[in-house]
Amino acid sequence: MAIKYTAKVIEHFKSPHNIGVIENADACATEGSPACGDEITVYLKIDKATDRIEDVKFQSYGCASNIATGSIITDLAKGKTIDDAEAITWKQAADELGGLPPVKMHCSVLAVDGLRSAIRKYKKEVKGIDYDSTLDVKTVTEELKHVLWPPVGVDIITLKMVKYIGIDQGAVRVEVSIGSDDKFLDPTIDEIVEHVSKIRGVKSVNVENV
């Protein structure tokens, strides 16, 4: 069955706003998921006196939803302070596009992650604010809120699909409950590994379907 997009998604896909590269950007960051094949790079130009985003551009390597969410998230961020832009949510981005198919909601998460990563990189390098987190169950849980279950576009923590998180000297074990023959099982496990592996101090990630 063909995926149905809103007119706003199609508009931003065909004529994306703010696409390109900012030379000598104050910050840039790339976020991507080999599990779904999408990637986005966000570039920021920031007024250091006001902390306001003067310009923002993105490059997208992915599907129509990936391009459209990159376009809308940069529209939302331009002109805002870095604190206000950092507070933009993936749901807000999806709503601005008139909604996304559940199976494509992860693209909105990816776009927001790209923007936040660029902002936090700027804050760390220019303002000395350290965002590195301690490896604990709470940190892993928060990261897993970025992993969406494709059929409904809701994160696996909210859906109570994660049954156990254990940590032992940098080795993280995550137990999930998904049908063994579900077509989204393997991609979801891959995404869990990708997200948890980004946390400082993680040495290995083992995901078991129980």
Catalytic residues: 36, 107
- Beta-sheet strands, E only, within the chain: 27-33, 38-47, 52-61, 148-149, 154-155, 162-168, 171-176, 204-209
How many other C-beta atoms are found inside a 10 Å radius of the C-beta of residue 135? 18
Rounded to the nearest angstrom, the gap between the alpha carbon of residue 49 and the centroid of all alpha carbons in its chain is 28
The alpha carbon of 32 is separated from its chain's Cα centroid by a whole number of angstroms, namely 8
* Pick from 193, 184, 177, 181: nearest CA to 150: 184
Going from the C-alpha of 27 to that of each of 69, 84, 110, the distances in angstroms are 20, 16, 17
